[in-house]
Structure 1
Amino acid sequence: MFHFVSPPLPHYVSCGEDTYPPGGTHPDRSGIGVFDLLVVTSGCLYLEEEGSPLHIASGHYGILRPDRSHRTAEPCRTETHFYWLHFHTLGSWNASSDGASYWAEPEDTPYARIEKFSIYIPRTGKLEPTGPAGSAVRRIMLLNAEQSAKARWDRQILLQDLLSALQYQGGEYAESPHVRVAERAGEFLRRHYKEHISYQMLSESLHFHPNYISLCMKKTFDCTPLEYLTRYRIEQAKRMLIHTDEPIGRIAELAGFRSFPYFVRCFARNAGQPPNSFRKLFRK
């Protein structure tokens, strides 16, 4: 299972198709820097990615990682036709077995830094030619020879359709338990950010011990629930500073801060300047 944190969304790089005769082999490569999505329509590809077998039969797909080596484990036994599509992301990603942090460092913009969402794509699976994923693959291939701005844009949109179909084609997608808990906690905090929130409230809502919730959020977002909540409140304050004429004290209250001095300290630490300077910068 691959986990992508967006935005930014994974983006299209290139695509093509190939047919191997019996005895044909896929190139051995290492660290190609892009994800390689292989869709087999006939025959079977017998691959290996750093010791992990990846056999892709007709009507199935497999994804090779950008940071590992892969090789042919066994030549094709019959004529094998497949499509290949390279895509990548400038955002944070990992495989579910890595155990690394999923948090992407925020960009230096006045708008939301915390409102990320997750995309989960199985490493392998079925890909029905007549289904949504198969349709997206065919349409991307048809646009491959076109280099107009519209064609490039359409390929990007079709890639999102393809990844969405792969994520949801088998029903509700699987994800690690700690990611599920962290995202539920994040949803609760975003929904109730204007209120006074305690760890007890969070625990009672999610039916997990506060320490476990904090551990899950630390693993997933690299921050505690309190840090997550504070960042989200700051983003709401930024929007109000830019788009409204409300006094700064009132904005602090509307964003969920019960103490004005604490709001000013948190805002300056997050934005690198106090609220009044931030407002002047974007309300010239």
Structure 2
Amino acid sequence: MTFNPSYIHLAAPPFPYFLECGRTVYLPGDQHPNRSCMGKFDLIIVEQGCLYLGEEHTEWAVGAGHTLLLPDRYHYSVRPCEAETIFTWVHFHTVGEWTESAGEPVYADREEHFRQFLTHPYTIRIPQFGPLPAPFARSGQAGQLLQLNQGRRSSAVWQQQRIFEEMLRTMDLARQDTAGSQADEIAELTEAYLRNHYAEEVTNTSLADALHFHYNYLARCMKRVYGLTPMEYLTDYRLEQAKLLLLKTEIPVGGIAERTGFESAAYFSRRFSRKVGISPLRFRKRYSR
């Protein structure tokens, strides 16, 4: 068997949504069915024994205490179980873009994601195969999902989605390497500063001085997590705030430019038109009441 260190990257929001779950027991000689393009992801959590599964050119021996995430592709049984094997399976789907790569995150088409969902994506990173994270094992989340299957769907559907999202969050955070975790923390710190100070003059130097990190390092962290440099993120955030002011107030374009941190009304209008496709005034006339 070969170990595949690949990660499945899921762009969110919108977050993946829970479909169904179950618990299966295989006796010695039983094997997982071959499946192709089910239209959903299959998260397998082995409690006892070992499943032998393959996908394309990779094969796994998924033993007790391990998880395997199978995307919507062809997967197959490598060989039958050698001992009694018990596992929980969780099926889910995602509307956002997903992809697979080894190690480093691979980002979605951020401009298209922003146009479709009106926000830049966060990338949920789940190792395709690996040991069950300790926080996940202690939480009992898989058992909670199974138990809710026995109740009324009208109440279970909300709870199952909440538990499922917490399950993904636990796996995402627990599986990040140390460097990745630090990059996430620095990127989020940078994002928070930019959101709190967008109306002020922010330069590479002032940002570095405020956060006590070299600007190039801040830019690398932001690129890794958000796919944008700090200044690109700042411009996008300023434009979103400008949209709100155009729709909710009668403040002139020059005043909006000043309130959202742009150096001049002319520069604001150019950036707005380039991003949105129409001028600020046309945007206001078209979308405000």
Fold-level similarity (TM above 0.5): yes
1:161 corresponds in structure 2 to: 166
Residues 184-232 of structure 1: per-residue CA shift (max 9 Å, x gap): 654554444223333444566574564x766775676555544332211
Residues 263-274 of structure 1: pairs in structure 2 closer than 5 A: 263-274=268-279
Unaligned runs of 5+ in 2: 1-6
Secondary structure, aligned partner of 1:237: helix
Distance (whole Å) between structure 2 residues aligned to residue 196 and residue 18 of structure 1: 59
RMSD, aligned α-carbons: 3.4
Q: Could you tell me which of 11, 27, 33 is aligned with 2:33?
A: 27
Mapped contact 1:184–1:206 kept (Cα < 8 A)? no
1:233 corresponds in structure 2 to: 238
User: What is the deviation of 1:57?
Assistant: 1.8
Secondary structure, aligned partner of 2:180: coil
2:78 corresponds in structure 1 to: 73
Mapped contact 1:267–1:275 kept (Cα < 8 A)? yes
Residues 15-164 of structure 1: pairs in structure 2 closer than 5 A: 15-67=21-73, 69-97=74-102, 100-104=106-110, 105-108=112-115, 112-114=118-120, 116-123=121-128, 124-126=130-132, 131-132=138-139, 134=140, 136-144=141-149, 148-164=153-169
Call closer, same or farther: CA 1:43–1:174 in 2, change over 3 Å.
farther
Mapped contact 1:12–1:86 kept (Cα < 8 A)? yes
Distance (whole Å) between structure 1 residues aligned to residue 125 and residue 41 of structure 2: 14
Distance (whole Å) between structure 2 residues aligned to residue 145 and residue 166 of structure 1: 25
Residues 209-224 of structure 1: pairs in structure 2 closer than 5 A: 210=216, 221=226, 223-224=228-229
Amino acid at match of 1:117: Y
Residues 4-15 of structure 1: pairs in structure 2 closer than 5 A: 4-15=10-21
Call closer, same or farther: CA 1:215–1:41 in 2, change over 3 Å.
closer
2:284 corresponds in structure 1 to: 279
Distance (whole Å) between structure 1 residues aligned to residue 270 and residue 95 of structure 2: 31
Residues 118-170 of structure 1: per-residue CA shift (max 9 Å, x gap): 323233222668622x2x21222223355633322222112112112223457
Mapped contact 2:254–2:264 kept (Cα < 8 A)? no
Between 239-248 and 175-184, report the one with greater CA deviation.
175-184
Mapped contact 1:14–1:86 kept (Cα < 8 A)? yes
Mapped contact 1:190–1:232 kept (Cα < 8 A)? yes
Unaligned runs of 5+ in 1: none
Q: How many residues align?
A: 278
1:255 corresponds in structure 2 to: 260
Amino acid at match of 1:140: L
